[in-house]
């Protein structure tokens, strides 16, 4: 990939991530508890019965781990945004 192409992809991914954080935040702020965000994290978890990566994880396992890390980062951003919001700003 060339420099401008990588830069364009990074910009598009950052915009999509920002949108996802906003959408999940809107959904989470209407949820009665953290169960909504916890369920998102559980969906991305690598389960115990899945293949052990060993010393050098396979590309598929490494990709799954990177995806799970990104989901955790999004949920962490949403939680930080919820924590920063005044209590009366949350909808019930």
pLDDT tens digits, residue range 3-46?
779 999 999 999 999 999 999 999 999 887 779 999 999 886 66
Residue 84 CA to residue 57 CA, distance in Å, equals 38
Tell me the whole-structure pTM to 2 decimals: 0.76
pLDDT in tens, 50-72: 555 566 667 877 888 889 999 99
Whether the per-residue pLDDT at 73 is higher than 90: the answer is yes
Helix/strand/coil (H/E/C) assignment for every residue in the chain: CCHHHHHHHHHHHHHHHHHHHHHHHHHHHCCCCCHHHHHHHHHHCCCCCCCCCCCCCCHHHHHHHHHHHHHHHHHHHHHHHHHHCCHHHCCC
Average pLDDT value over all residues in the chain: 83
**Cβ 45 vs Cβ 38: under 8 Å:** no
């Amino acid at each position: 990939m060339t420099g401008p192409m990588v830069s364009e992809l990074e910009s598009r991914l950052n915009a999509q991530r920002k949108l996802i954080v906003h959408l999940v935040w809107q959904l989470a702020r209407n949820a009665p508890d953290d169960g909504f965000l916890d369920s998102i994290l559980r969906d991305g978890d690598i389960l115990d019965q899945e293949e052990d990566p060993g010393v050098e994880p396979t590309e598929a396992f490494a990709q799954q781990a990177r995806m799970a890390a990104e989901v955790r980062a999004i949920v962490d951003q949403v939680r930080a945004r919820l924590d920063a919001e005044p209590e009366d700003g949350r909808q019930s």
